[in-house]
Structure 1
Amino acid sequence: MRFNSKVIHGGQEPDKAYGAVMPPIYQTSTFAQTSPGNHRGFQYSRSANPTRTALENAMASIENGNYGLAFASGLAAIDAVLKLLNPGDEVISTNDLYGGSYRLFKKIFENYGIVFHFMDMEEVSLVQDQINERTKMIWLETPTNPLMNIIDIEAVSQLATANGLLLAVDNTFATPYLQKPLDLGADIVMHSATKYLGGHSDVVLGALVVKDEELAKRLYFIQNASGAVSGPMDSFLVLRGIKTLHVRMQRHCENAEAIAHFLRKHPKVDTVYWPGFEEHPNHDIAKKQMVNFGGMLSFVPKGSDYKVTLQFVERLKIFTLAESLGGVESLVGHPASMSHGSMSKQERDKAGIADALIRLSVGIEDVDDLIEDLSQALDESLI
């Protein structure tokens, strides 16, 4: 089954009770048993719920995995992955990853003896130098948040396999519509399903997808034992969102491409970060492992500072200044004070995240309206 059909039918079947085409919202905490242990497949909704199971099956299908797990948030999903590790284990990760992931790594799990190394992974050969006998996992984003760096998943996978390491990929920006990390050798795919999978800025949810049965069993145990599961209503909303993922991503990509080219030509814009440009450092890798270049981009206004950047984002009328991304509406964010505010300025500078950097989540509105909005904000700002 091809992707555009999988998002609607993959892993899905009519509800067994009444044949409902869309899985119902099983808003219940527990399920009746005829005798202890004798039930219809569900006992308690922390362990499993029919609506959540339908979502997990759908997510596994669209990522070409065998097992899906839904969590209360993307960070809850990452938390579960890190609980596969033991004190003293080491993790190699990208240096410009999402600020919430960085905060979880540094402020929570370092307290339990996990050691994290952050580095530029665009040159995969450099990753080998960071591996030692305590390294157990490589965690990467591609495209990265917020600088849109591209990492060769297949090359990192070969390196991880050769060294007996787990490879986990945050696929939130790309979505399985654009790239499938499991097919490229990753062991674990993570999504903040709050973003493109849900697609409507009305739910918070996280997801993991794997192929390996033993790894799935370990993660299912952590999911059940720790309890950070998604509720049935949230699961329903993301399942509904997935069904239109393909058509939404087509428009996100089309609009982002037009805006990237508009910004690059604008006299008040210095640098645009978008992997679709041929001069992007890993443009060829993006072409190889992605179907298109996504709906996210970042840019730095020419000669601007923090104050001028704030004036620009406050002048926007269609782009909404808000946290998050991946919804049908266009959003603008200031990474230094928003998504990456938990990182110190020194840490942001080391990762290349400038104070003036602006991140756009390009929605599915009419692209001419979006360009006009950006144009008026740039023209009226004090750049």
Structure 2
Amino acid sequence: MKFGTKAIHAGIEPDPSTGAIMTPIYQTSTYIQHTLGGHQEYAYARSQNPTRTALQNNLAALENGKHGICFSSGVAAIDAVIKLFNPGDEIISTNDLYGGTYRLFTQVYERYGIKFKFVSMLEAEGIAAHITDKTKMIWVETPTNPMMNIIDIAAVAKLSTGNKIILAVDNTFASPYLQNPLDLGADIVMHSVTKYLGGHSDVVMGALVVNDDELAQKLAFIQNSCGAIPGPQDCFLVIRGIKTLHLRMERHSQNGKTIAAYLKNHPKVEKVYWPGFEDHPNHEIAKKQMRDYGGMISFSLVGNMESDVKKVMENFQIFALAESLGGVESLCGHPASMTHASIPREEREKVGLVDSLIRLSVGVEDAEDLKNDLAQALGKI
């Protein structure tokens, strides 16, 4: 089954009681049990909900996985993964990652004795030097947030398998349409469903997809025991959003290519980070493991002046100044003061995250309108 067909049909069955083609919103906290002590699939909604089950099955199919597990946010999904480990365990992470992930790792779980190493993963072989007998997982983002660095998933998977280490990949920026980490050897795929999967800036949710039955059982146990679950209304909205994921990602990618090329040739732009450029670091890897390059772009301004950033971002008329990404509308963000403010400045600058860096989530509007908006906003400096 091709991706567009899976997006609409995989894991989705007509409602057995009415034949409704759209999965109903099962707005209930509990279910009638017909026998005392007997087993039934649905007993209490924290554990299972039919709307959530349909979504989890759909997400698993999109990532070519067996098990999907949904959470109340992307960070809650990451939190569940870290709960697999014990004090004294070590996790290796890319040194360029979402600020919320960094904050969870360093300000929450380091207090409980889990150690995190943040290293460059542009060359997968370099990770090996950081592996010890205490290393239990490698955490990867690709493309990374916000520098758009590309990490070779297959090469890291070979390394993790050889050392019997779990490989987890945050696939939020790519979405299952552009990239499938399980096919490349990853053990866990994480999504902030809030972003491209939902696609309409109206849901907060996270998800994990795995193939291993035992790992799925452990994560489902954490989901149920800790209770960070999404509600049925949100699950319904994501099921609806996913039905157009392939169409939206095609347009995001087309517009991303147009906007990246425009910015690269603009005299007030210092550097553009977009993996579709042939001179982008690890472009050949992106070409191999991705189907297209998406709509996420970061760029810095000539002179690196914060005052110029303020003028540009506050004068956009179509690009909205807002947190998040992946919706149909175009957004702009300032990572240094927004999504990555929890990362110390010296650490941000080591990976190129300067104060003038602007991150764009290019939406599905007309590309000419987006270029004109960039032109007038950049014209204010």
TM range (shorter): over 0.9
TM-score (norm 2): 0.99
> Residue 318 of structure 1 contacts residue 330 of structure 1 at CA under 8 Å; is this kept in 2?
yes
Partner of 1:234: 234
Distance (whole Å) between structure 2 residues aligned to residue 13 and residue 352 of structure 1: 47
Which residue of structure 2 lines up, in the alignment, with residue 64 of structure 1? 64
Q: What is the correspondence of 1:153-172 to structure 2 with a 5 Å cutoff?
A: 153-172=153-172
- Separation (CA, whole Å) in 1 of partners of 2:148 and 2:36: 52
Distance 1:38 1:125 in 2: 52
Is 1:311 equivalent to 2:311 in the alignment? yes
Q: What's the counterpart of residue 115 of structure 1?
A: 115
Partner of 2:350: 350
Q: Which moved more, 1:204-213 or 1:32-41?
A: 32-41
Q: Distance in 2 between matches of 1:40 and 1:163?
A: 40
For residues 121-150 of structure 1, the C-alpha deviation after alignment (integer angstroms, 9 at most, x for no partner) is 010110000000000000010000000000
Which structure 2 segments of 5+ residues have no match? Answer: none
Instruction: Decide whether the 8 Å contact of 2:148 with 2:274 is kept in 1.
Output: yes
TM-score normalized with structure 1 length = 0.98
Is 1:10 the counterpart of 2:10 in the alignment?
yes
Measure, in 1, the Cα distance between the counterparts of 2:269 and 2:20. Answer: 52
Report the CA distance between 1:334 and its aligned residue.
Answer: 0.1
Secondary structure in 1 matching 2:373: helix
Deviation at 1:40, TM superposition (A): 4.9
CA distance, structure 2, for counterparts of residue 37 and residue 168 of structure 1: 38
Find the counterpart in structure 1 of residue 364 from structure 2.
Answer: 364
Deviations 1:233-270 (A, max 9, x none): 01111111111000000000000000000000011111
Shift of 1:34: 1.3
* Partners of 2:304 and 2:355 within 8 A in 1: no
- Residue of structure 1 in register with 2:253 after alignment: 253
3-state secondary structure, aligned to 2:233: helix
Q: Does 1:221 align with 2:221?
A: yes
Per-residue deviation, 1:300: 0.3
Partner in structure 1 of residue 298 of structure 2: 298
Query: How many residues end up aligned between the 2 structures?
Result: 381
Q: Supply the distance in 1 between the matched residues of 2:139 and 2:40 (Cα, whole angstroms).
A: 38
Structure 2: distance between partners of 1:333 and 1:190 = 22
Equivalent position of 1:243 in the other structure: 243
In the alignment, is residue 329 of structure 1 matched against residue 320 of structure 2? no
Mapped to 2, the partners of 1:373 and 1:40 lie a distance apart of: 56
CA contact (8 A) 1:26 1:51 kept: yes
Percent identical pairs in the alignment equals 63
Cα displacement (A) at 1:303: 1.1
Secondary structure of the 2:130 match is coil
Q: In 2, distance between residues paired with 1:36 and 1:67?
A: 29
How far, CA to CA, are the matches of 1:17 and 1:348 in structure 2? Answer: 54
Contact 2:334 / 2:359 at 8 angstroms: preserved in 1?
yes
Alpha-carbon distance in 1 for matches of 2:3, 2:339: 31
For 2:110 and 2:237, locate their aligned partners in 1 and report how far apart those are by CA, in whole Å: 34
Match for residue 25 of structure 1? Answer: 25
- CA-atom RMSD in angstroms: 0.8
The residue type equivalent to 1:96 in the other structure is D
8 Å contact kept, 2:168–2:186? yes
In structure 1, distance between residues paired with 2:81 and 2:37:
29
1:258-317 Cα distance to aligned partner (Å, 9 max, x none): 000000001111100000000011000000000000110100011131121111100100
Residue 278 of structure 2 is aligned to residue 278 of structure 1: yes
> C-alpha displacement at 1:347, in angstroms?
2.0
Three-state SS of the structure 2 residue aligned to 1:34 is coil
Distance 2:311 2:380 in 1: 9
Q: State the match for 2:48 in structure 1.
A: 48
Deviation string for 1:168-210 (max 9, x for gaps)? Answer: 0000000010000000000000000000000000010000000
Contact 1:318 1:370 in 2 (8 A): yes
8 Å CA contact 1:169–1:181 kept in 2: the answer is yes
Structure 1 unaligned residues grouped into runs of 5+: none
Q: Which stretch shifts more, 14-23 or 142-151? A: 14-23
After TM superposition, list the pairs within 5 Å mapping 1:187-202 onto structure 2.
187-202=187-202
